[in-house]
Amino acid sequence: MTDTARALPGVSKAVVPAAGLGTRFLPATKATPKEMLPIVDKPAIQYVVEEAVAAGLDDVLMITGRSKRSIEDHFDRAYELEEALRAKNDTQRLHSVRESSELAQVHYVRQGEPRGLGHAVLCAAAHVGGEPFAVLLGDDLIGAREALLRRMIEVRETYGGSVVALMEVEPEQVSLYGCAAIEPTDEDDVVAVTDLVEKPPADQAPSRWAIIGRYICDPAVFDVLRDTPPGRGGEIQLTDALRELAKRTTADGGPVHGVLFRGQRYDTGNKVDYLRTVVEFACERPDLAAEFLPWLRDFVAQADGRA
């Protein structure tokens, strides 16, 4: 290994916070984690793990909480089910059942108390150690054809520090996101982040560039998070810790860059966006589209007729 490679270790671990209460989807999420809600026939969180693995990250740490046992079961072997499918020679379903248990090395740590995304990420400190790591939020799904995470890892390799994924949103949407003040670099899709504000009111937003749920964090973020007081909503915010790192140089754990993302992103964090995601994914499935799309067209035409 060269000295440079030793000084800048690669990204090999992904952290997936999954401890939220999922109150927006009650009563479905009373006993089922929201991460397990299906997008067609696969739980949302499996798409997230597949995205991490596609970017070369097969060590995945889930930050979980109470009532999240089914997530662990989903990424584990299901011996009785597998035997039953094998006895029926149902190889296709057998494959789909085994797939999630063979995807990645999945580890778990419990958050204990819901003190915010920053606190959830801090729970990963012991597992991650001194290496940069990716954070993937399950409410955002990125189109399988997009290479966003891989690009973010490249940007980290070039510039050091941390990297956030940014997407331009409508002004009235800015208050739903962490929002970045940015300056151009020599690369079209990369910006320097000079400031970050968590969920600003529209008139105080530094730009329309919103953080979507993909991050590459320098391990210096852990020390900063330990000193970060509760921010918006009384929670310890990852955005506030990254804001501090944005002011620093590489020697100190900074800076922060943004990758401007213009590809397919699906929001599953609220009911309407969740429904859109399910419909879009169904329309892209070769095994479903031929039957589902004509029905959808008729349904919309009839609904338009009634309106």
User: Which residues contact ligand G1P (rule: CB under 6 A)?
Assistant: 117, 137, 139-140, 177-178, 198, 210-213, 237, 239, 269
| Of 117 and 155, CB closest to ligand G1P | 117
Cα separation of 173 and 198, whole Å? 13
Q: How far is the CB of 174 from ligand G1P (least distance, A)?
A: 10
Could you give the 3-state DSSP secondary structure of residue 46?
A: helix
| Of 154 and 267, CB closest to ligand G1P | 267
Q: How far is the CB of 243 from ligand G1P (least distance, A)?
A: 11
Cα separation of 261 and 240, whole Å? 22
Q: Is 280 exposed, middle or buried (0-12, 13-18, 19+ CB in 10 A)?
A: middle
Q: How far is the CB of 216 from ligand G1P (least distance, A)?
A: 15
> What DSSP line would sit under 140-175, residue for residue?
EEE-TT--HHHHHHHHHHHH-SEEEEEEE--GGGGG
| Of 151 and 214, CB closest to ligand G1P | 214
| Of 199 and 248, CB closest to ligand G1P | 199
Q: How far is the CB of 29 from ligand G1P (least distance, A)?
A: 15
The answer to whether 218 and 253 are in contact (CB under 8 A) is yes
| Of 117 and 123, CB closest to ligand G1P | 117
Strands 162-168, 59-64: pairing is unpaired
Residue with smallest beta-carbon separation from ligand G1P: 178
Q: How far is the CB of 210 from ligand G1P (least distance, A)?
A: 6
